Structure 1
Amino acid sequence: MSTYKEKLSILSEMIAFAKADQDLKDTEYNFLFGVAVSLGIEKEIFDSLLKKQIKVVIPKTQADRILQFHRLVLLMNVDQEQNQIEISKLHNIGLGMGLPPSAIEQVLMVMHDYPDKIIPPEVLINIFKAHYN
């Protein structure tokens, strides 16, 4: 599992992503706080990350990178709104993590085939597996 610093980085990156459209909606806040709880981050620390971004640490393993990308896809769709800024930012984050561009594109297309654009984890994993083979 990730170190405490890596967990803070995960949240910080997600918060910055949620603020890409200059508006942090209640649904996004609640989703982010749920991730914080699952990572063992206290509410006070989580709320401090809303005010001050910390340096992003790219997850070490490919599995952790794919998991973070999946979290970001879910976050993008939690408010049931997408805009080009979010899509472009998500694409760039994926590239920055070293994920295959073709897999990123496929995920962004396939998510529209699922209710509320919530792509199942096994589908996402299979997309990345196919692009690594």
Structure 2
Amino acid sequence: MLISRPRKKHKVKHLEPASILFVGFLGLILLGTGLLMIPAATSDRHHLSFIDALFEATSAVCVTGLAVVDTGTTFTLFGQLILLVLIQIGGWGFMTIGILMFIVLGKKIGLQQRLILKESLNAFSLQGVIALVQRVVLIT
């Protein structure tokens, strides 16, 4: 006779919206850093160090416009496209892009996503944040 044990319920820790934004931006910056360091991203005579790639990726995501190397001569078209995507994601905000994907795929946008979006857009209330994302995308 088999006796079944009750399953343990795994508790998922929910991060605060500000923490999720921080982790998201950090992940995006680190991903951009890694992509800028691959040989296909730079021209033959240039090699980008970790600190230079980190600075370039951070500057692109934070849309500061600072650069430690000449973008036109250091980066190949692939590297320039990486920078362009990082700038676009940083400008829109990665949460805006995430919500846009939800809208395109027809998925429901839950309370947690709305709270994070509210924090990301620095909105005063949850009301109208999805419409705001739609307007941002339409205008840009």
Q: Same fold (TM over 0.5)?
A: no
In terms of Rg, which structure is larger?
2
Of Structure 1 and Structure 2, which has the larger fraction of its residues in helix? 1
Report the TM-score when normalising by structure 1: 0.31
Normalising by the residue count of structure 2, what TM-score does the alignment of the two structures yield?
0.30
